[in-house]
Structure 1
Amino acid sequence: MEIEIRKIVTVCEETFIEGFKKAEKPVRIAAALAVIKNPYAGQFVEELQPLINTYSEKLGKLLPKKAMEALNISGEEVEAYGKGALVGLDGEIEHGSAIIHTLTFGNPFRSLCGDAETLLPSAEKRGSAGAGIDLAIKHKMDEKTRSHHMTFETRIPDAPRNDEIVVIAAVASSGRAHPRIGSLHKELEGVFPS
């Protein structure tokens, strides 16, 4: 099976004011989206390893790099991340999951983000061209750091076609603009924000 990418789209957002208050520093999030051919669209295939072998590692390296380039930051400067797959109508959600829920996708992604340690939060769904997908984003070193729990919506007007999958990597240079709900670590210790 050969890799077939129709297009790559990069989306970058910088938020300067949140909740009617200027942010101390802009909240910067970028996502890189690859529109790929789904060779299993319109049929049931038991063995998904050829799909994994073709796309997982390549996209696990390519997409985080593209997202970091959009923010003009290094992997060490990435503070939070997430991933997703949006499968066209003739595919199974399992096809997208097969690509992004592997160590061959996740390990290169974490490595590029300064040897990150947490599991990449994810979102997968099926949709038609132009469908949006909300990507879960969390801190790259500590999933209990609530200030970095965010959602980032992406969409491509002409993708996915019925026989395509949109594979997505997102990175953020900070957490939310004005975090005030405290750390889960403190809550687990019985210390609640006042």
Structure 2
Amino acid sequence: MKPFPKLVYCGFMDNDIKILEIDLFDFNPDLQLVSFWNNKIIIIGAAVFDKLPKLTWLYLDLNRCINMRSESIVSLTKYIIRHVKYKCIDPETITSDKTIDFDQDFENLEMVQAAINELKENITSINEHIANIEETNVQLKEKMEEFSNHNGSYLWIVIVIFIALLAAGGFIAYKRLNIYR
């Protein structure tokens, strides 16, 4: 969906779509209506619809694990995932001693999302530090180039001062020798 950043309405009706990846709408923040009517959706990525702040209509009618539509969406991702997870459970895989704890799954999901957000913030901070270091390196490089451009003239100044000091020292030594004679 990356090539369509200004997309407002989209429909994927009558297909064999089974999975809605979490990053499906990363580049489509203007979407207001999305329809996956009559597909075979069994997996919906966590927070896939939360990335769409303008989404007001979502149609998931006639899918294998979910058959719903919603208007005036605030944030349905948690509800949708819970619904799909509950409805798509294979009865043969559940034993009588195994309980399904959807709330625990969402707490884990929220913890993972919080950790991801913290990592993103750390990466942003590290990138800012790297940018500052690169800027400092550029400034140091400019200073070194400036110094090396003047290095020849500085060397002559040092040589002239050295010769002047040597001459002054020689003159003083000559005067002292004349005094002691």
The alignment's TM-score, normalised by the length of structure 1, stands at 0.23
Larger radius of gyration between Structure 1 and Structure 2:
2
Higher strand share: 1
> Bigger relative contact order, structure 1 or 2, given CA contacts below 8 A and separation 6+?
1
State TM-score, norm by structure 2. Answer: 0.24
